[in-house]
Amino acid sequence: MNTREMQDEILRLKKDKNVCILAHAYQSQDIWEVADFVGDSYALSRYAASVSQETVIMCGVRFMAETVKVLSPQKRAILANPLAGCPMAQQIDQKMISWLKDRYPEHTIVAYINTTSALKTAVDVCVTSSSAVHIINNIQNDKILFIPDKNLGEWVEKQCPNKQFAFFKGGCPTHMRMRKRDVDQARQLHPNAKLLVHPECLSEVTELADFAGSTTEIMAYARESSEKEFIIGTESSIVQHLQFECPDKQFYLLSRECVCHNMKMTTLADVYQCLLGRSGEEIFLEEHVIQGAKRAIEEMIRLGQ
Ligand code: 13P
Ligand code: SF4
C-alpha cells in the first residue's frame, strides 16, 4: 500500500466507523491530510468539546488525548501512538503541587495545558500559548503562579504588567535547545528573513524574534505576511507545513535541534492500524480526575472567550 492508498482507506474507514481524527499542528503532512481538524492546543481543546462522532483518534501527545476524554467523557478517546507523551507534562507531580500551594497560598495557579489530567485537578485554570495572556488578564487575582513552563510564563509576564508572577522551573526540552547563537547564525545566513518563534523558547530567543506565537499563530503570520523568507523557531514540522501552504515563500528551521521526538512518533500507519482496532490506546480516567480536570479546562475556555 502506498501513502495515497493508505490515506484513501483511512478516509473510508473513519466515515464507516463514525470516527473523528484530530491532529496537533506538529503532526506530519500525510496525517494533516486525513484529519477532520488540525490546530494548536487551544483550538484542539475547543474542538474536542463539540465533537459529534462516537470515537476520537488523537494524533498528538498523551495529554491531548486526555483532554478529549475529559471534555467528552461519553466518547471513546484513543491516543494514536501510546508512546507519544510530552516530557513537560511529567515535570510536576501531586507532591510538588501541594508544596507549591503551601508556598504560594494567595496565588491563582495557572497551568499550561501540557500537564497530566491528574495534575489539572489541583490547579485553578489551564492556559495554552495562544490564550495565556488573554486569560491571565481576565483573572481577578493579581498574584499568579504559572506552571510548569517558565519560558512561556516569562513571555506572558511581559505582556501582563499588572500581575505579579511566580514560576516553577520547568520547560519544553525541544524548544529550550534553541539558543541565541542559533539566531545569530540564522540571521547571518538569511539576512532578509523574519524570525518567528514559539514562546516556549528561552527569552534569549523570543527577545530577538520578529513574532512569537502558538503553532497556528506562527503559520497565520507567515501566510498573511508580504515578506518572502522566514526563520522558524519551533518544531520542524511547521517548516514542512508552511512549505506546502506557501510554495512562493521560503522557510528555514532555526536549529536542527528543534525536533520533538514525541510528536514525530505517530505515523500515518498508526492511524490506519487504530481504525482497524489493532493499535492505539483508549484513554480511561477516573471520574474524580475527569471532573477536576474539566473544571480547569472549562475555566480556560470560559476566560478565553
Ligand atoms: P501550541 O500548539 O498551543 O502552540 O503548543 C505547542 C506545543 O508544544 C504543544 O505540545
Ligand atoms: Fe512537549 Fe515540547 Fe514536544 Fe510540545 S514540543 S509535546 S511541549 S516536548
Q: Is the pLDDT of residue 23 over 90?
A: yes
The pLDDT value given to residue 10:
98
Which of 109, 117, 55 shows the shortest CA–CA distance to 86?
Answer: 117
The pLDDT value given to residue 45:
79
Q: How far apart are CA 20 and CA 56, in angstroms?
A: 5
Give ∠ CA 193-198-199 in degrees, rounded to 5.
125
The pLDDT value given to residue 44:
85
What's 85-108 look like in SS3?
A: CCHHHHCCCHHHHHHHHHHCCCCE
User: 3-85+263-284 and 178-257: same fold?
Assistant: yes
Output the CA–CA distances (angstroms, integers) from residue 140 to 144, 157, 254, in the order listed: 10, 16, 38
**Beta-strand relationship, 19-24 and 55-59:** parallel
Q: How far apart are CA 268 and CA 218, in angstroms?
A: 24
Rounded to two decimals, what is the model's pTM?
Answer: 0.94
* Atom 5 in ligand 2: residue holding the nearest Cα: 260
The pLDDT value given to residue 257:
93
Between the CA of 5 and the centroid of ligand 1 the distance, in Å, is 30
pLDDT band, residue 88 (cuts 50/70/90) = very high
Q: How far apart are CA 82 and CA 69, in angstroms?
A: 15
Q: Give me the chain's average pLDDT, please.
A: 96
The pLDDT value given to residue 40:
87
* Atom 4 in ligand 2: residue holding the nearest Cα: 86
Q: Is the pLDDT of residue 27 over 90?
A: yes
Atom index in ligand 1 nearest the CA of residue 217 equals 4
CB of residue 86 inside a 6 A radius of ligand 2: yes
Could you name the CATH architecture of 3-85+263-284? Answer: 3-Layer(aba) Sandwich (3.40)
Query: Would you list the domain boundaries of the chain?
Result: 3-85+263-284, 88-171+289-304, 178-257
For 152-188, write each residue's pLDDT tens digit.
999 999 999 999 999 999 999 999 999 999 999 999 9
Could you name the CATH architecture of 88-171+289-304? Answer: 3-Layer(aba) Sandwich (3.40)
Residue with cell 475527569: 290
The cell for 253 is 528551521
CB of residue 235 inside a 6 A radius of ligand 2: yes
For 190-199, write each residue's pLDDT tens digit.
999 999 999 9
The pLDDT value given to residue 271:
98
DSSP, res 149: B
**β-sheet bridge partners, residue 111:** 126, 147
276: number of Cβ within 10 Å: 12
For 30-57, write each residue's pLDDT tens digit.
999 999 999 988 888 788 878 889 999 9
Between the CA of 244 and the centroid of ligand 1 the distance, in Å, is 20
For 289-299, write each residue's pLDDT tens digit.
999 999 999 99
Helices (H), the chain: 3-16, 29-32, 41-48, 62-71, 94-103, 117-120, 132-137, 150-159, 180-189, 203-206, 215-224, 237-245, 261-264, 268-275, 287-303
Which of 92, 130, 175, 198 for a ligand 2 pocket mutation test, highest count of atoms within 8 Å of Cβ?
175
Between the CA of 117 and the centroid of ligand 1 the distance, in Å, is 17
* Atom 6 in ligand 2: residue holding the nearest Cα: 86
For 211-260, write each residue's pLDDT tens digit.
999 999 999 999 999 999 999 999 999 999 999 999 999 999 999 999 99
Whether CATH 3.40.50.10800 fits 178-257:
yes
Which of 40, 42, 44, 61 for a ligand 2 pocket mutation test, highest count of atoms within 8 Å of Cβ?
61
Which of 42, 114, 127 for a ligand 2 pocket mutation test, highest count of atoms within 8 Å of Cβ?
114
The cell for 168 is 516553577
For 264-282, write each residue's pLDDT tens digit.
999 999 999 999 999 999 9
* Atom 4 in ligand 1: residue holding the nearest Cα: 214
Residues framing ligand 1 (Cβ under 6 A): 25, 40-42, 86, 114, 128-130, 172, 200, 214-215
CB of residue 113 inside a 6 A radius of ligand 2: no
The cell for 12 is 473510508
